[in-house]
Amino acid sequence: MPWKKPVYLMIAFALMLGFIRQSAHSEEPLPSINLPIEDWTVVAYAKGFLQEAYARIGTTDVRLVDPGTTQLSGSEAALLDRGGLALAQRMMYPATIHKANGIDASIVWLSTRSSPARTPVLALADSPIQTVADLKGKTLGSSRVSCGWTSPTEILDDAGVPLDTPKQPGAVRFTNIMNTVATTNALLSGRIEATATHIGTADNAALWTSGQVKAIGHSPDNGVYVNDAGRVSYFAMREFAEQHPRAIQAFLQARERTIAWARENQEEAVELVAKGRRLPIDIARFTLTDPSSFSFINGEPSAPAAVAAVKGFQAWYLAHGDEILADHHLTDAQLETFVDRRFFRGGEYSVY
């Protein structure tokens, strides 16, 4: 009968849509995954939260891998690019520089705004230097593609003693030191007068808690570092995110569960971090509880806010003589797609 043909077509079309939808949601099995060793991941592994999240998607071999960030800046991006890590953690600035330099990665998680305490400018405790203005004509050393450059750049700019760059001379010399231990040795030996670093990390906490250094400058409370550049991000290779979105979702689900648990069981969390990362208990406690800590911070649920943060800090540093971003920066189109909206509020794989 003539009226049946449209019905058949509608049924066929519906079946085709169902097939397309099913194909879009299908994922290749992922038997094992390498994740970065961090404070929260060692807690999540010890409590079985990571293993449980991944067991639900058929991943039975979950491994924690040292990303090597403290040994050599940028090593986590190399591991990511070679497939040695599924996800990497860096602050917004280095994550964006990696992207601008050709790492085809996507941001799948972003923290809320940073803290003025996170990356202070440090000098030796017995140094005559009392403020960042006293650094005029002296040397600050840190890793160039890190918060050790972004944070003091804003602090010193505000104080009227800007850092040197290859494109414009400043009042304070800058030495690029890509290794945390080497930076500490340079400061303690007097080869540099100041540095800027995350005092809330295990590698730097002892330097601070032992009283060997003092803070001579902090990021402004409503500045570009606190609002934008100093946010913590997790990024994954775009191809991995496209092929294994549920593997990323499992990671983020385990993180949410771990953060909630740690806040209710702080002392046990400290003990697990101390054991899992082989740290003295007082250092583990400092890295988890000090205002400079970023171990258990909240995520930014809004994808538009995440995109705005990347745009905001890139524009600021371009305007303030960032020679790396001047040569390689993200276009507006790249900025829009850098943040993978599927993992933020309203997205298909959101944990919010």
What percent of the chain is modeled with pLDDT above 90?
78
3-state SS assignment for residue 196: strand
Q: In this predicted model, what pLDDT tens digit does every residue of 262-296 receive, in sequence order? A: 999 999 999 999 999 999 999 999 999 999 998 89
Of 74-88, 239-253, 287-301, the poorest mean pLDDT is in 74-88
Joined together, the tokens standing for residue 268 give 């046990």
Residue intervals of the chain classified under CATH 3.40.190.10 are: 29-112+228-343, 121-218
User: pLDDT category, 54, cuts 50, 70, 90?
Assistant: very high
CA count, 13 A, side-chain hemisphere, 308: 9
Phi then psi for residue 89, to 5 deg, are -110, 130
How many of the other CB atoms lie within 10 Å of CB of 178? 17
Q: With bands split at pLDDT 50, 70 and 90, how would you rate the model's confidence at 170?
A: very high
| 121-124 and 105-110 beta bridge pairing | unpaired
* pLDDT value, residue 106: 95
Rounded CA separation 307/314 (Å): 11
Q: Decide if pLDDT at 3 tops 50.
A: no
Q: Provide the pLDDT for residue 82.
A: 67
Q: Give pLDDT, residue 73.
A: 53
pLDDT value of residue 74: 56
DSSP secondary structure string for all residues of 94-142: HHHHHHHTT--EEEEEEBS---TTSS-EEEETT-S--SGGGGTTSEEEE
Statement: residue 72 has pLDDT above 80: no
Which H or E run contains 173? strand 173-176
Does residue 223 or residue 167 have the better pLDDT? 223
pLDDT at 83 over 80: no
Residue 169: pLDDT band (50, 70, 90) is confident
Cβ–Cβ under 8 Å, residues 183 and 191: no
Residue 256 has what pLDDT?
97
CA angle 298, 299, 300 (to 5 degrees): 125
Options 2.60.40.10, 3.40.630.30, 3.30.465.10, 3.40.190.10; which CATH number does 29-112+228-343 get?
Answer: 3.40.190.10
Domain 121-218: give its CATH architecture: 3-Layer(aba) Sandwich (3.40)
